[in-house]
Each structure stands twice: as C-alpha cells, then as structure tokens.
Structure 1
C-alpha cells in the first residue's frame, strides 16, 4: 500500500494507446475450422500521506442496487487531447455491452491543453461521472479533495476486479489504504514484447547469412553492411544500423546496456543493491562508449537523434538499413514490414536469433534481461463523486477483466465475425481478420474498446487463436511475442512509485527535472563525440552536473521507496551481474 504522496507519477506513453486505436486496421489472426455452437450472445442476459476525505458515505447510498438494470447514462472523460472518440452503441462491440448492461455513455475530451481543462474541472467541481487518466499528482489531488470514490464497496457486490488483480497489485495501487482506480493494462504474467533486433533478409543473405549470436557479431555484421552494401537494389543509401526515433538516446541504451547485462529504469538503475543514477554505473559508461564507437565507425545514421518517427519509417519501408532495433509490434500500426514485403517481393525483415538481445563481453544469454513490465499499468479509470450510480459503472468496467470480454473486444459478439466455437472454446472466424476492410473493422468495433485492457486475458486468447492457425497463416507479431519475447520477459513492481514523494515544485523535484533534461540534451552529444576521450569527458561532465545540482536527494528519496518495495515484494534482479 502507498500513501497519497506515494503514487507513481508516470506519463502514459502515447504509442501504446495509439497502437490500441490503430491496431484495428491491421489484423493479426487468421482462422478456418468448424466446431460446436457457442453460447447465445445475441441476446445479452443483462446481467500521498495527506489526509484524504472519504467520499464513500456520500455515494454508497447511491440509488443503485445490484439488481438495478434500468436504463442509465453516464459521462466519461478522457484526459488526453489526442484521444480518438467514438460514439457508444454504434458498432457491434459497444452495442452488445450497451444492451448487456443497459448503459449509455457520453464521451468527451479536451480540445487542447488537457492539464488546464482538468484544473478547471477540479476547481469548479464540474466533474464527469468517470475519467480515464494517469496515476499522477492530479489523481492524488482529486483523492485528497474527496472527488474520487473508493472502489471497495463496489468490489463487495461484484468481486470480478478483485478476482483478476493480484493482491499485491491491489495493494500497490491503494492510496491511504483504499483503491480508487481500475487499472489500464494490469497483468500478472510476463506476456508480450516489443523491442527487438531485426535485419533486412536480402542484405543478410547477400552477406552469406552470417552468425548473429553475440553483440560483437552485430558489430562485425554492421561493418560489413557499411563496406559491402552501401546502397539498396533501388540505389538508395543504406544505414548499417537503424534505431527507432528518440532524441535523448534512450532507445540506443535499451539495445546496448541490456546486452551488457544492465537493467535501467529511465535514467536510473540498481547498483550494489541501491537505486542510483545510471551514470554512476561503470558498466553503463562502458556501454555508452561502445555506442560512441559505433557512431565514429559510421554505423549509425547521422540523423539518428533528429529523425521523426515518420522519417525513420520512410527509411524502413525502403529497406535502407542492414540492422534495425525497433518495436516489431508496430507492424500492426505503421505496417513497416508489410509495406516493405509488398514492395519487395521475396524480401522481408526478420528477427535476429537465437538471442533477441545478443550478449556482449562474453556473457551468457542467461545473464541478459529481456523487457520488463509492472503489474499495475500506468493509468486507468476513476469514478468521481458526481456519479449517481457508481456500482453500474464499476460493473461495466470490471466486465472488461473477464475472458468473455476479451473475446468480445477482440472478435466481436456472436453472429458477426463468428458463429461457433471450436472444441477448445475459441471462436471460429468466418473471415480472416487481415481480410477485413477498414469499414468492416469500424462497424464491428473490434480492438477499439480496450479501456481497461487486461493483458492476461487478451494475450492468452490472442496466443491461442494464433497457435491454431497453419504456420504460414500465423501472425508474425503474435508468434514473435508468444514464442520469442514472452519467454525472456520479466515482471516486477519493485520500481513502482519511486518518485511519488518528489513533487515537481519541491526543491528535489526542480533539481530532478533540471538534471534529467540536461541528460537528455547532453547524452546524444557524448554519443556523437569525435573521439573516445571526448565522449568519456562529456560523460563525466554529465555526472558532475547531476551531483552539483542535487541529484543525491532524488536518489535518496527514490532509493528509500525502492528498498521498501523490495522488502515487501522482493526483487527480480537475481541473475547475471545482480546475482548474489
């Protein structure tokens, strides 16, 4: 459990939510079989440490009883100006839930400046019935002011949420002993995956399909691409190694530091059992100097730190890179691989194997940490004290955590994309998802209503549906996630809530912002230095700047929370350099 000051301030990454909106346009599963009839779904059965004000009494006396199935309309606000709104009840998925719960939802979002809009709503008390928002200082402020409803009374009547969230997850999400949020993309298992090393198959074969098992193998391969394949078959220049966009160099750190055996949480890591700034780690320094070597050797694009996502994509779909470190799941949204394969028949992007993150320095693959997630997610749905029937809202949103909801959200209700279930209870699709038109996807509403998304049920069903297809029809993305990325992914909550006691306006918060912004500006310059000596000097200067500007106070506060987390739930840093 954490206090009102101890809730993780965490920006929702737009890429994940944008992916959820856009993924409907690129399907991942194909099916053909016959089987028994499924249940009739066409006829829904209706079923901080600051003292906080307890709003339970005010609204537990709401007019809603468990059996209340009278028509109910409530307002739902997305606290993001970029959110894509869609009218409830117009597609088959939301229409099914509308009938099942006899609920209508009126959606809204800010036109601009979400922060200012939310501040106005809080100050005036003119709140919607529910809000989709980050767990941040605004969230804590609303709890402190008594504007949000604790969920325990509603869980007593409907245990669905409690049954699907780990007890440790619920405790981690509590503020002053109470749960106020229905989390987005909570999980209990280490499924999924995103970042990976890939190569352009035609270039790989042209160079004799060399071994790519270690980090040095990647370096040697990149040098050969530079020397032997300067241009594509279309006459375009080739960059030996292309990374995803990112002006602060973070994506390069994910590739290099991980292969060196390190684990980072933003600009911080665990060193000698303590939570510290990354720049104190000699191994991190070694990894940065290695990136600098690749840069000086002409293996990384000169525009790496200035290219936009669209500019990187333009190069990718033209095959203008020998190696690629990128989120492979984005082939469902920007279709980088599909477009390349369509324009270059017989060619493709393929995953570097057998090690998704090839080990450096003679390390064993078992010493390398894959991607990691926490169990609590980063945002979620809250119910405000304005809601007249909070139990009804809670019941609807809790439904999203069930296997039934996962099937509905991904494949729609019975009678549209599917009529029957196979012997394992999986839908038998009438039409492969990747054959659906954009209009058909929109009419169905599949993959759109993922708030809250529950990773456990979504991934389990996604993998099962993909596995039953013929190998040549399986989704490249889902197969990668199920067979390559999930086995090396890990899950931990030890890094949750570390900076919640550091408000942006506190001295430590001001210094933290100053130091982290400085790192984001100066690290790329160190990577681009024209000599190893200059890169090392610039690296040391970054650490000195951090020390001179109070980063120790940030480390102390975050480190205390980290240690408390470890004392409570343990650590997953148990192998390689972290083994004791």
Structure 2
C-alpha cells in the first residue's frame, strides 16, 4: 500500500468515527418492520418459494474496486427482465478506478450509496462502528433462501463483534469451488510432441523448448503483477495453498509458523528465480497489467499459464483462438508438482464457504428490507437462473426435477463463444451468487450437451479446478484493522515481503536468493511478525470453534 493510500485509510477511519459521534442513534438503523408482501414477478416466473416479499424498489449500488465498472441497469436480457417483472431498479455508482478516494468523498459528503459491494474486513467493520450499516439478522430469519443455502457455520463467521450480521455473502458455497489452475496452448504443446507435464522438472524442460523454438511466445505466463507465482507454492507441498503466503505463516499443529521458515517456500522462490534468470517468465512479470496479459493469451503468445482465475483467462483466450481455428485453443491440465508428491494432495487455490466478497446495506437506504428481499430472491433458484443463464425463453424453457434449466435449441445450436459472453454479462449482476445451486445447475445443463458444445470454463471446473481447490474457511477474519498495533505490524511485514520477493525474483544466483530470504526473515521478526502470527493463530482457533459449533 502506498503512503497515499495509507493516509486515505486513516482519513476514512477518522471520518467514520466523527460520523458515529454525530449519529442520532449511534448504533446504526435497526431492521424496519416487515412491509406487507406485494407478490413478486408479474409474468411467467412461476410459483416459486423465493417470490415471497419481493417488492418494487430502486437503490444505488457502489462496487468498491478499482477494476469494477457496473454496466447500466436494463441493458441486457437479465436485468431488463428484473426491471420489467420485479420492478427493481439499480443506479450504479462507479469507483472510477480510485475506490478509496471515491469512498472518502462519499463519506465527507455524507452521501453513501444504499448498497456497498466490497471485501469483508476493514471497510465493513469501520462502517459498522460508525453506525452506518443496517443489521440484517431479522431479515435473514424472515426470508427463505439464504437460510436454506448458507451453512450455519458460515452465518457464525459472518457475525461482527457486536454479534449481529451486516453482510450478504457473494459466491458462498456448501461444496467445493475454485477457478485457479494451469493451462497449455494446444498448438504449441502438440507441435512439441505432447510431452509429459507433471513435475516442475518436466515443466522446466518444456519451457526451455518453447523459449528456443518460439521466440515471440511467453513460455510461462504468470498473470497480472505476477500473481501466478505465489500459486505455484501449492505444488511444492501437499495439502497447502498460496493462502499460507498471504497469512505469512503456515499451519503447524494448532499454530501458525513464519512462512520464511518453510522449506517449501524456499524451494518455491529458488525455482521462480531459476525460471526468471533463464527468461522463461516475462521479465516485467511483477509490473504487467491485466490488459497486457489478456492480449498475450488471446493472441496465442502464451505456452503455459498459471493463474488464480485461469477459468476466465482460459475461456476468453480459448474463444479468441478457436474463432480463427477450431482446433486451436487452450487446455486445462492437472497442477504441476514437485517430484515424489501425491498428485491428489496438490492444491492450486483455496476457497472459503463465505465466498468472495459481500454486500452491505447502509443507513441511507429508505427501504432496506425491500433491498434485502431482492437479494434473497437473487440467491434463490429463480434469481440464480435469471442472473446466470438468462431469463426463461432465452437459453432454456423448462427445468428438470432438480430445478436446473434444460438447454433449449438456442443454447444447443447457437455459437458457444457468443452465448458464453452474453451469460458473463448477466453474471456481473449476480451479487449474491449461490455457488451450491449454480454448480449443480451448470453441470446438469452442460452435461446435456455434446462435448463440443460445452463451455471451456465448465470443462475446466468439472475436471480439474474444483478438485484442486482446498477449503480454507477456517482462516477468514484473521486480518487486523489497519490502525491497530497488529494492523501496523501487518503493513510493515507486507512491505518487507513485497520488496524481498521482488529481489528474490530478480536475484542473480541461488545464493543471492537465500541471502534475501534470510534478511527478510530477520526484518520481519524485528517488525513483529511473531505478534501478527499469534493474533492470527488466536482468530484461526476461534473460527475453528465457530465452525465446529455450526455442524
């Protein structure tokens, strides 16, 4: 985090405290009395349980991310159907590429949006303490769908320090979920004879061939700002993911131990440096933008790629290449691993039952219950079908016994790439994604198609990415508030790590890598890493108790 962003976060915290002091009730708006049910969809939505309480409402929605731009409401078939049938309208508020500054401006102007879409953690907790969020417990008890699909242990982990729930989870799950992985360029792989690609030794040999034969191709693509480099960690150790690197500690019994002490991490940075020194990885890997990565992938100038969101890169790149040549494209592969490790104990990514991000309803909302009722509809079967597959009559006309849509002729015979792109636009508005329902429905629908009609993403998920993703829910909520002593320690440790990692990637020898690693360990210990890991260990063990209580 830059000094500028640090300053902004302190300003936001101070402003929120000021707003809390000025608040009349000091504790946020309590759930309002339930309005009478006004029915739900007025067209052919059918008699489904999640119609209960859906009420016409208009609300503002702000996505607190620099990458997020919310498209106009009603511009695609899904949101247009919602607009016309549910009488729900959304006014997007854009971050404009500067979310911290945007939120700061809204706070200063006392002009918060009705809904904020953000990560769990510091922003949410600050808004709660400032009394600016609506507690949702009563609504969760009243409306049916979240109660049905969210595990009790997940609800326990969503609770804030005051015991209330202010957050609506997105892409939560009761099963396995993951989009990280490895893929290969089919043309290059086949031209080189389709060699074995199972271990890091195999990968190294293959990348050398690519470098020597295809000078304009990136042998190993590692994503925006080198994000895929950390992902390789899971290949050096059984039952581990790069989530340990984010924690700066790996589990050893019931405590977290410094990542700098981990043999697998040492092997990882030595391997990365070897690839970088031999120009098998883009030399600007740590600086490259997402657009630059996509351009390489979509033009076929990537031989192998590892990324935490490989399904998105792969699906888009595969569409681009197969549009020109149906036999080209990318293929998902089982994760690369260290020789001697069990392939079935290798994980690329981690998932949390709480999902990815959350929605919070602010006290600016005139009818918070109506907004929640809409979100409960979203997360139920009807909402998930509309916001993932499109409204009835577009790509499906009937359902099977499980409630999953049955593909119609338009789905079966239409262009796969065009259909996938259209559905991706629907999904952008699926702010209460129900992974449990969607995974079942998507697989049911796709398996009804012939193999060449199935989406690249679905094939990748069903064959590899879900099976190689590990549940790391027990480590949620272990981030300290930035302005606290532990929060400052975390920032200092992260700064030390970021600089050290860049030095290890660019080091001229193994010896230099190990020297930087040793210095980073000393500097982190001096900065208070032990206190950070103790804090996270305590939070982790509290989570374990909450999860066990929810079973």
Q: TM-score, normalised by structure 2?
A: 0.81
The one of 479, 482, 485 aligned to 2:462: 482
Higher relative contact order (CA 8 A, sep 6+): 1
Are residue 244 (structure 1) and residue 223 (structure 2) matched? yes
Structure 2 spans left out of the alignment, 5+ residues: 1-8, 10-24, 39-52
Q: Residue 449 of structure 1 corresponds to which residue in structure 2?
A: 429
What root-mean-square deviation, in Å, do the aligned CA atoms of Structure 1 and Structure 2 show?
A: 3.3
> 2:322, 2:328 within 8 Å by CA — same for their partners in 1?
yes
State the alpha-carbon separation in 1 of the partners of residues 107 and 149 from structure 2. 31
Sort the Cα spacing of 1:202 and 1:157 in 2 relative to 1 into closer, same or farther, 3 A. closer
Structure 1 spans left out of the alignment, 5+ residues: 1-8, 10-51, 572-580
> 1:264, 1:278 within 8 Å by CA — same for their partners in 2?
no
Q: Residue 32 of structure 2 corresponds to which residue in structure 1?
A: 60
State the alpha-carbon separation in 2 of the partners of residues 78 and 209 from structure 1. 43
Any idea what SS the aligned residue of 1:150 has? coil
Any idea what SS the aligned residue of 2:319 has? helix
Sort the Cα spacing of 1:540 and 1:267 in 2 relative to 1 into closer, same or farther, 3 A. farther
Q: Residue 249 of structure 2 corresponds to which residue in structure 1?
A: 269
Q: Residue 447 of structure 2 corresponds to which residue in structure 1?
A: 467
Report deviation, 1:387.
3.0
Sort the Cα spacing of 1:391 and 1:513 in 2 relative to 1 into closer, same or farther, 3 A. same
The one of 161, 168, 176 aligned to 1:190: 176
Are residue 255 (structure 1) and residue 232 (structure 2) matched? yes
> 1:494, 1:570 within 8 Å by CA — same for their partners in 2?
no
Q: Residue 312 of structure 2 corresponds to which residue in structure 1?
A: 330
Report deviation, 1:114.
3.3
State the alpha-carbon separation in 1 of the partners of residues 544 and 55 from structure 2. 47
1:331-410 correspondence runs (5 A): 331=313, 335-343=316-324, 346-352=327-333, 356-410=334-388
Sort the Cα spacing of 1:452 and 1:172 in 2 relative to 1 into closer, same or farther, 3 A. same
> 2:317, 2:329 within 8 Å by CA — same for their partners in 1?
no
Q: Using the TM superposition, name which of 380-389 and 449-458 deviates more.
A: 380-389
State the alpha-carbon separation in 2 of the partners of residues 85 and 417 from structure 1. 24
Sort the Cα spacing of 1:91 and 1:214 in 2 relative to 1 into closer, same or farther, 3 A. closer
State the alpha-carbon separation in 2 of the partners of residues 344 and 443 from structure 1. 23
Count of equivalent residues = 504
State the alpha-carbon separation in 2 of the partners of residues 400 and 197 from structure 1. 32
State the alpha-carbon separation in 1 of the partners of residues 517 and 63 from structure 2. 41
Greater fraction of residues in helix: 2
Q: TM-score, normalised by structure 1?
A: 0.78
State the alpha-carbon separation in 2 of the partners of residues 91 and 404 from structure 1. 17
Any idea what SS the aligned residue of 2:249 has? strand
Q: Deviations over 1:10-54 (max 9, x none)?
A: xxxxxxxxxxxxxxxxxxxxxxxxxxxxxxxxxxxxxxxxxx955
Any idea what SS the aligned residue of 2:225 has? coil
Are residue 426 (structure 1) and residue 397 (structure 2) matched? no
Q: Residue 197 of structure 2 corresponds to which residue in structure 1?
A: 212
Q: Deviations over 1:315-335 (max 9, x none)?
A: 3344444433244312477x2
